[in-house]
Amino acid sequence: MQVFGPGQELKICFGGLDILRPGVNEFAWSSRVDIPNLIINQRHQEEAKRRDKQLKNLYERYRDQKIQEIKSTISPEELAVNTNLKIIITDLFINTLPVLPDKGSLIKKPVEEISDLVLKYNQNNIAFNFAVIDYREPEATKYFTMLENYDNTWREAKAEKSSYYFNVSPGKYVYRVKAYNSDGTKAEKAITVTVNPPFWQTWWFKTLVGIFLLALLYIIYRWRTASLRKQKRILEQTVKIRTAEVVKQKEKSDELLLNILPSEVAEELKEKGYTTAKSFDEVTILFSDIKGFTNVAEKLTAQELVKEINTYFSAFDNIILKYGLEKIKTIGDAYIAAGGLPEKNSATAQNVIEAAIAMQQEVKKLKQERMISNRPYFELRIGIHTGPVVAGVVGIKKFQYDIWGDTVNLAARMEQSGVPGKINISQHTYEAMKDQFNCVHRGKIEAKNKGEIDMYFVE
């Protein structure tokens, strides 16, 4: 208690005294005393000063002790690199309740020392309080927080140095805090948070349920065995019949799939559920088209037209199969095939040209038969070009093996620029096959969107 002498003004406050020094506008604090026992005189001034000095010394020792305690939490490496910025997690709250280190608690050591936190599924409302040690300009320090895998966005903490996360789903998360001071110094703190799923979502519970169900099924099976023995032979026969039907249906479906897609592509589709497009450097494409198809179609009924097209295209299918080509598709009266895919070197340009010659011979044969019976007939234009393509299956409905690339467009131009009964090939195909076939140069022929192109007839 500090006491002043005569002439000093006193003010009595609740529980103690505030003493005003006249002229300097200063107050001195006194401990709580009873007013009847307070004696103010000059004699006690020295004693009051001594007590004030003792209180000041106690305060300084307490301050130094706290500073040492804070410094002890910082490693020597951090002191050497960054002595004025460190993040400390000060408080942890689960479902709004504070968590303190204890034997029966979630954490066994102070919250600022933990790096991993494991919680139950119903402990999913989490809050953190944090503090930053900054000896320079603490008011200029900026703070950012994020709970990784919960909300992957850094959020600035302005008013309160706190983070709140509600209804956190079972999983693994990382709580991160970053701080930047005015000179760009950075500090970061991270805690791994694991929220375990409820027991009914754990693998061991599911395993137990599975075992229980299997045991139950086994008991039911044993109970039913006695009553089903009489029907055993009938059931076995039924199983055999149905198994045979399933095998037969599978064979049909496999055969149908192979009839739609190349065997290599079909196997990939059955194994993976999808196919991967492939590039081929040297593929020879055959385009064929029926001349005057519309005029002939007008003379036939729909059934007759389909039957007639089927006759021609069935003959083409046999020829394609004979020479090892891959049928790509038919579009109206157009028939498209290719050599050199789906396996490289499966059929060469020579095989494609030989197949084209056979197709023209078959068309001439059918023409003669129909002329004798005075029936409408078809004439065929064929165009061939060799080059790179991409082949594969696209879509998820009505699978179809198809090819793409400028080579396809050029083969189509060869067919469009051809003559009925002739086989029109490109310069590239001619250079590869000029020693195997007798070809006649037609000169440069204008092709749609391609300009003038050298073309040749195979004789």
Displacement of CA 432 from its chain's centroid (Å): 46
pLDDT given at position 267: 74
Q: Flag whether 205 is in a domain.
A: no
Banded pLDDT at 147 (limits 50, 70, 90): very high
Residue 432 backbone phi and psi in degrees, to 5: -80, -25
Rg (CA), the chain: 47
Q: What is the span of the domain harbouring residue 89? A: 78-199
Amino acid 172: pLDDT:
93
Residues 449, 414: contact at Cβ < 8 Å?
A: no
> Mean pLDDT score of the chain, rounded to an integer?
80
Backbone φ/ψ region at 136: left (φ over 0), alpha (ψ -120 to 50), beta: alpha
Please count the structural domains in the chain: 4
Chain centroid to Cα 293, Å, comes to 50
Indicate if the pLDDT at residue 398 is higher than 80. Answer: no
Return the bridge partners of 170, or none: none
Instruction: Specify if 1 maps to a domain.
Output: no
pLDDT tens digit string along 193-236? 999 999 888 888 989 999 999 999 989 888 888 887 888 888 88
| pLDDT for position 7 | 46
Paired sense of beta strands 142-148 and 151-157, if any: antiparallel
37-77 confidence digits (pLDDT tens): 444 445 566 776 777 777 777 767 766 676 677 666 666 55
Domain annotation covers residue 4:
no
Task: Over range 100-122, report the average pLDDT.
Answer: 86
Q: Are residues 275 and 304 in the same domain?
A: yes
DSSP H or E stretch at residue 166? none
Residues 388 and 435 placed together within one structural domain of the fold: yes
For residue 254, the model assigns a pLDDT of 67
Same domain, 29 and 15: yes
* pLDDT tens profile 310-330: 999 999 999 999 998 988 888
Per-residue confidence band for 24, with pLDDT thresholds at 50, 70 and 90: very low
Domain end (from 70, 86, 121):
70
416 and 312 within one domain:
yes
The CATH number of residue 129's host domain is 2.60.40.10
Of residues 150 and 160, the one with the higher pLDDT is 150
Residues whose CB falls within 8 Å of the CB of residue 5, separated by 6 or more in sequence, listed in order: 40, 41, 42, 45
Using alpha carbons only, give the angle 153, 154, 159 rounded to the nearest 5 degrees: 130
pLDDT of residue 33: 42
pLDDT at 281: 87
Asked if residue 414 has pLDDT above 70, the reply is yes
Q: Are residues 157 and 280 in the same domain?
A: no
What pTM did the predictor assign? Answer: 0.46
Separation between Cα atoms, residue 259 and residue 30, nearest integer Å:
106
User: Which stretch of DSSP H or E encloses residue 133?
Assistant: strand 126-134
CA distance 340 to 428: 15
Banded pLDDT at 139 (limits 50, 70, 90) = confident
Instruction: Judge whether residue 83 has pLDDT over 80.
Output: no
Is 176 inside a domain boundary?
A: yes
Q: Are residues 141 and 181 in the same domain?
A: yes
pLDDT for the residue numbered 450: 82
- Identify the pLDDT of residue 79: 47
Sign of the dihedral defined by the CA atoms of residues 93, 99, 100, 101, in that order: negative
Q: What is the CATH number of the domain that holds 359?
A: 3.30.70.1230
Say if residue 182's pLDDT is above 80: no
Q: Is the same domain home to 165 and 85?
A: yes
- The secondary element (H helix, E strand) that includes residue 82 is none
Looking at the fold, whether 295 and 437 belong to one and the same domain comes out as yes
CA geometry: angle 339, 377, 371, nearest 5 deg: 130
Tokens at residue 168, please?
Answer: 């956190």
186: tokens are 């950075």
Is the pLDDT at 291 greater than 90, yes or no?
no
Residues 256 and 323 in one domain: no
Question: Which of 19, 43, 70 is the last residue in one of the domains?
Answer: 70
303 and 250 in a single domain? The answer is no
Q: Does 372 fall in a domain?
A: yes
Q: Are residues 290 and 397 in the same domain?
A: yes
Summarised one tens digit per residue, pLDDT across range 362-392 is 999 998 988 888 888 888 999 999 999 998 8
Which of 239, 260, 281 represents a domain boundary (last residue)? 260
Separation CA 165–CA 95 (nearest Å): 10
Alpha-carbon span 442 to 456, nearest angstrom: 5
- 3 is written with which tokens? 């006491």
Whether the CB-CB separation of 341 and 391 falls below 8 Å is answered with yes
pLDDT digits (tens, 9 = 90+) for 431-440: 988 889 999 9
Q: Which of 164-168, 178-182, 340-344 has the lowest mean pLDDT?
A: 340-344
**In terms of domains, do 288 and 429 share one?**
yes
Asked if the structure places residue 2 within a domain, the reply is no
Which carries the bigger pLDDT value, residue 415 or residue 62?
415
Cis (ω within 30 of 0) for the bond into 22? no
Taking the C-alpha atoms of residue 88 and residue 130, their distance in angstroms, rounded to an integer, is 6
Asked whether residue 405 is assigned to any structural domain, the reply reads yes
Residue 3: inside a domain: no
Burial class of residue 362 (count of CB atoms within 10 Å of its CB; 0-12, 13-18, 19+): middle
Residues 240-277: pLDDT tens digits? Answer: 888 888 877 777 776 666 666 766 777 777 777 777 77
- Output the pLDDT for position 64: 67
Determine phi and psi for 388, rounding to 5 degrees.
-80, 145
